[in-house]
């Protein structure tokens, strides 16, 4: 019998030489882990839903300073292998890639998040590319988003975005831990900003339609995870000679709302767009 834990099950599998060689070649070519490729293949064979976003809390709650953790990382992993978010107390940036969740801290360190770590806001999905291509000579964030706009076929569905390559330069920020009730703009005024050159890594994120601005960050929201797992954060600016792009259309949204006292008492009736633009999307 396979051993099991609260967040995963382990099943010994024996692969023939041909299948194992094909698996190794796929991992070499794409940079994916063997675990991710096998899980993806099983999900496809079992006809599991691939186009669902699982989201914890809302962007509007973040803007109002609702930072209490409400879902364990171990539970998040039941709902996706790809995504981004932040942790209890706005304690850094979260990156979920190939089924592993990473936490970037304001001191510049990156560590694997424990299964018991609490997320205050997170967006996850099982990533399966619907479209892929290579982007050459990406000169800036504005250039990247303009090209992505041309590749989306509509303005009303969510899109998961994965970009992999070497970044000649990249600027990212990491949120600092904040006191409960401090609004998002004030909290991110103290964010740590980092500039790197010639770093290999993956960008993980989503495009959200403008009508969903009270639920998620509208527009493009991307986090970096370097290949060596030493650098990670919310992307502000970039430049790359070549990026491998994969897009995954999302047509279902599962929204999990906190039942914490701070969420239940928060005034979420306002439009958070301006505050989100200042706190999350300032790419100047």
Least confident of 2-6, 9-13, 232-236, 275-279: 2-6
Highest mean pLDDT among 13-17, 56-60, 188-192 belongs to 56-60
Looking at residue 210, the DSSP 8-state letter turns out to be: G
Q: What is the pLDDT of residues 232-278, one digit of tens each?
A: 999 999 999 999 999 999 999 999 999 999 999 999 999 998 888 88
**Domain ranges for the chain:** 15-48, 52-124, 126-251+272-279
- Rounded mean pLDDT, 162-178: 96
DSSP secondary structure, 93-112, as one string: EEEEETTEEEEE-TTS-EEE
| Cβ atoms within 10 Å, residue 141 | 20
Asked whether the domain spanning 126-251+272-279 has the same topology as the one spanning 52-124, the reply is: yes
- pLDDT category at 282 given cuts 50, 70, 90 is low
Residue 283 has pLDDT above 80, yes or no: no
- pLDDT category at 3 given cuts 50, 70, 90 is very low
For residue 12, what pLDDT is reported? Answer: 81
Question: Alpha-carbon distance 61 to 55, whole Å?
Answer: 13
- pLDDT category at 47 given cuts 50, 70, 90 is low
Helix segments in 166-221, DSSP class H:
184-188
Topology annotation, domain 126-251+272-279: 60s Ribosomal Protein L30; Chain: A; (3.30.1330)
Task: Give the right CATH number for 52-124 from 3.30.1330.80, 3.40.50.300, 3.30.70.890, 3.40.1210.10.
Answer: 3.30.1330.80
């Amino acid at each position: 019998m396979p051993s099991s834990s609260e967040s995963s099950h382990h099943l010994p599998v024996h692969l023939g030489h041909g299948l194992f060689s094909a698996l190794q070649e796929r991992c070499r070519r794409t940079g994916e882990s063997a675990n991710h490729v096998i899980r993806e293949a099983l999900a496809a064979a079992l006809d599991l839903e691939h186009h669902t976003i699982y989201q914890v809390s809302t962007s509007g709650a973040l803007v109002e300073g609702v930072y209490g953790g409400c879902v364990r990382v171990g539970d998040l992993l039941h709902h996706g292998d790809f995504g981004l978010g932040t942790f209890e107390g706005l304690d850094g940036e979260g990156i979920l890639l190939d089924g592993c969740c990473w936490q970037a801290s304001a001191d510049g360190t990156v560590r694997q998040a424990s299964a018991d770590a609490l997320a205050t806001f997170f967006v996850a999905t099982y990533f399966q590319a619907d479209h892929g291509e290579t982007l050459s000579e990406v000169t800036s964030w504005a250039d990247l988003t303009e090209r992505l706009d041309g590749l989306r076929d509509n303005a009303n569905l969510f899109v998961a975005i994965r970009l992999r390559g070497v970044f000649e330069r990249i600027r990212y920020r990491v949120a600092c831990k904040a006191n409960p009730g401090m609004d998002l703009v004030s909290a991110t005024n103290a964010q740590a900003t980092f500039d790197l050159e010639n770093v290999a890594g993956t960008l993980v994120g989503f495009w959200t339609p403008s009508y969903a601005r009270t639920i998620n960050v509208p527009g493009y929201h991307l986090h970096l995870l370097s290949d060596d797992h030493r650098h990670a954060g919310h992307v502000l600016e970039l430049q790359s000679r070549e990026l491998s792009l994969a897009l995954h259309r999302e047509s279902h949204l599962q929204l999990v709302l906190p039942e914490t006292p701070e969420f239940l008492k928060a005034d979420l009736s306002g439009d958070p767009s301006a505050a989100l633009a200042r706190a999350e999307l300032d790419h100047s």
